[in-house]
Structure formats: C-alpha cells, structure tokens
A and B are shown apart, each in its own frame.
Chain A
C-alpha cells in the first residue's frame, strides 16, 4: 500500500512544478507592482521636476542607485566609485581639485561638476554631450582617465555579485542586469540630490534675513549695469538657465566645448552655465578649474574676459570695470548665502 502514499506525494509534486512554472513567469510583474513610489520632496522655490516616463522613481530604485554610486565595482580595478570624485561635503565635486585623478592616476581635462538639482537639467557634462541623466552614467565609467571600466566586465561583475542580481530583479524585473538598468538606477538616486534650503531660501521664506552686504550683493548681482549675473544665472530657483555660452575665457578656445558636440563653429568655446547653488563649496571654477576663488571669477566677468569670436552677447555689451572691489566682495557675500549645509550633511546622501 505504500504506493498509495507515494502517488499523491508525486502528484502534488508535479502540480507544484506546474504552479511553480506559472509563478516564475509572473513574479517580475508582481514585484514591480509592489515597489514603493519615491515621492520627491521639492523645497518651496524650486519647480516641479520632470521624471522620465521610462524611469519612474521608486524607493527601491533610489536605494539601488545609491549603493551603485558608492560602489567601486564600477571602476576598472574596483578602486573608485562615482563618489570618489563627487563628494557630498563639496556639493559633490572633487575636494577642490582642478582635475580629478582616475584609476590610472591620469588627470582629466575638465573640472568635476557638482551633482545638485540634476533633474532640472536637460543635458549633462560641461558641453552637454550626455543627452540625458541616464545616458551620462556610462561616460565616467568608461572614460580612460576616470573609472576606466569596460561595460562588459562591469555587467559581468554585477551579475556575479552576491546582492545585485536580486536587487536589480526586484526593481527592474528580468533575469539579467543590463546597462539600461544600471543607468536608470544611478539616475534615480541622482535625481534625489536636491538642494533648496540655503540661507537664500530661508530668507525667501521669511525665516532668516540678509546682512547688509548680502543684500547689496543680491542687488548688484541682478543689476544689468553692475554684476549682470542674472541674465544666465537666473535669480531664484536653479540659478542657471543651463544654456551654453562662451564667456571669453580664451581668445582662441583651447577646449571647443559645446562645439565638439554640435560640430557647429558658432558653438566653439561654449560651456554649460552652471548653477550657483553651493558655489562657495565647489572651487575651483570654470570648466577647466582655472579660477581658484569666487573673486577671480567675478573679476573675470568684470574685467578679464576676452572679446573672442563667440563671446556671449550679454558680455559683449557690458562695460569692463563696472564693479569696484567692495562691490565684488558684496556679490561674494551674496553667493555665500547659496550654501546649503543641510544638503551637504543630509544622511540620505551618505553611503
């Protein structure tokens, strides 16, 4: 009579296999539905952020992106993570180095960009070469003077990892980690790096007040006959329109910048206008980090710029020497109010 026991057991087993079969095909969908949407908290004064439809933010996706951002697995010799050159204490630039040093001890040719309010930008890198935040991700990973990693190898390492396969499957489904998944996860984390609680913001909310120097600085900043900074670094919100401009750094551009991307001569020597939020933390300045201080920067726009071919019309039309030394200091005082200490200490952005 033993067979009577064995039969039902085997029968159940067979049924279980069938059911298991069905379940394994739909587990991905179930898990995706179980993800928790990540609700961005946008501080008053900043606009709503457009999130790409094909990369909705989830708590799990952001956590995965953060884990990847801090993981040296994405570099050629597994020694450098994204965070090696993008450090929170410096608004995610590289500890005031002019050019970051990659895994092969080679310097880059441009200054590491801050990772602040990235979701408001359309294109990435100083020249806007990366068409969206997701596409930007593979640039530093593959660049020989940065993380110098081969994507085939990076994916093989991720797929062989003890934790990543399950985490990626949970967030994106599928049985294998792919490059678009990697790009999307890191972009999700980067979109959370929002800064909007500087002294400037608190003053706007009536929670603080400017010193006289800061107040004078704000007026000089906006005055088209004085600082005239606001044409490009639009006051409030993101403090940039993220357009590309030649600011007369060189008579003949050493780095073609935007021109390298569009292959249009009228774009030669143009670079993306950076945001001024946390600007006091992100020295040195300009795409090549040539200016060590904010004073040098402001003096460039006041006196030093060159009448080069593609010079921005706003600069071509202002008078040189329109700011005196005291006025330069006042503008610096105002710029310092854009430092957001909550942002650089936010535990959500720590590994």
Chain B
C-alpha cells in the first residue's frame, strides 16, 4: 500500500545520478521500515484508545488522597488525626470497584471496573470510564472492595493479580483497604500502625453527589474526587491510635471496627471538580 506509492516515482527518475538516488531511496525505505516497526509496537503494546464519537466521551475519575486538605505524602510524620495523634502513612492502597455514574433522571451507567488505588503511584489513582454516553451525571457510586463473586479466587488478572499484594493467601480473599505507617504514642515514641480492611462483611458502598454536574457532551472529561484519610478515624467516636493501632480483619473481635470503618467511607470521599 505505502510500498507502491514510493515505488512508482522511483522508476520515473532513472535519469538522475545513481548514487544520489540510491541514498535517497535507502533513507526513504529506512523511514518506511521504521514507521512499520513503530506502528507495530503501538498495535501490540498499547490498547487502542477508546473511540470518542459525538454521542459519548471518555471519563476519567481521579482520586486525590489527602489528610484534611493536605495532599498525602508518604513517609512523613506530619498528620494529626481527630484524636490528636501524630501519624504518618507509609502505604495506602484501596480497591475502587463497580463505578456507576448516575444520570439526572436517576438512570445508572455501570463501568464494571476493578481498580487498585495505590498512593505510591499517582498514575494508579484513577478509574477510566470509556465511551460514556452524552448526558448530565449528578452522582457517582462505587464500592470499596471486591464483590463476593470475585473475592474468593486468587487466579485473577490485572489489579486483582496476587502480585499486587492485596490478597490473603491463607484465607482466599482480598484486603479492600490498607493503611500502614507509624504514629507517636503518649511518650512521643513512634509505634507501628496497620489497618487491613477485609472480609465480605467489609464490602462498602459509597455515593458521592456531584456538586457540579458532570456533563458529557462528546469530549473527554476528568472528574476529580478527594479522599480524606482522617475521616476514616472519626466514627462513631474519634479513633485513638494509642488504643487502636492494628486491625487485620482476621478475628470476630474486628467486626465492630469493620462496621465503623464501613460507615466512615462515605464521608471520606468528596467531590472536587470536573474538567
């Protein structure tokens, strides 16, 4: 196809100096070959971008992790929870699944995603929702965790691959949310902090009203949400890390903690902006 358009003129130019011709043609062919390789690479290594037509647009939902308005930085002893404990975050990961965009007429559009947000990798902290039909969306719903029918099987791909470090190997099931780090105890000594939110009981539904509606009109949109970690440690009363600094969701004694955290998630996510 490309080949013939280059071949034809080359035969018509045989009056020119052969050496010049040869070098020109060699470089043209080199370009063609490189182009072929390049297009090859594109096709096999990156998924084709979703097609945007006039009737739909691609939406990215971006999650910004923060602590009371301060952008989250890992490894810094600089946050204070509602109980007044100083703490730092070394690891923050959570699953955002089953994103649903709710239209102004209350009909719903399910994305069907399984995405792991990892604060150590900002590029992971988003959910892509391709080909969203043009409409005005007033609400976003999603789950923190893995639904029952996918929670008890380790042989899964993508963000569910056990290599992501979010599945128990002794009791097949995913950890839905992890916060690990340190806090300063009453004697100002650094102590470990580890919260692992897991088991089917922990499967959490979150609904965030979109203060400014998300209007999809054929163009790509970005919907920014904020996740305020401090909100998780305020229900029903403020959590004092001196009393509660380690939860693995591995005994029945963790059930009340699981229920409290579950109730806190809805307050932890808020709308930021649409671009």
Contact = CB atoms under 8 A, between A and B. Distances in A.
A306 to B, nearest CB: 24
A7 B2 CA distance: 13
Interface string A303-336: 0000000000000000000000000000000000
B234 to A, nearest CB: 26
Looking at B43, B155, B157, B170, which has the most chain A CB atoms within 10 Å of its CB? B155
Interface string B203-245: 0000000000000000000000000000000000000000000
B189 interface: no
Interface in B8-61: 10, 14, 18, 21-22, 25-26, 29, 32-33, 36-37, 39-40, 43-44
Contact of A24 (B39, B44, B255): B44
A17 B161 contact: no
Nearest to A52: B155
B133 interface: no
Contacts, number: 117
B154 A134 contact: yes
A266 to B, nearest CB: 11
B155 A134 contact: yes
A84 B40 CA distance: 45
B153 interface: yes
Interface residues of A, number: 44
B22 A3 contact: yes
A214 B120 CA distance: 64
Main secondary structure of the interface of A (DSSP, over half): helix
A207 interface: no
B3 interface: yes
Given A2-B22, A179-B163, A7 B7 contact: yes
Main secondary structure of the interface of B (DSSP, over half): helix
A131 interface: yes
Contact of B252 (A25, A178, A265): A265
Contacts of B37: 17
25 contacts: A3-B10, A3-B14, A3-B18, A11-B3, A11-B7, A14-B29, A14-B33, A20-B40, A21-B39, A129-B171, A130-B170, A132-B152, A132-B155, A138-B154, A138-B167, A139-B169, A141-B169, A142-B169, A143-B170, A155-B163, A178-B163, A179-B155, A260-B250, A263-B250, A265-B252
Interface of A: 2-3, 6-7, 10-11, 13-15, 17-18, 20-21, 24-25, 54-55, 125, 129-132, 134-135, 137-139, 141-143, 151-152, 155, 178-180, 183-184, 187, 260-261, 263-265
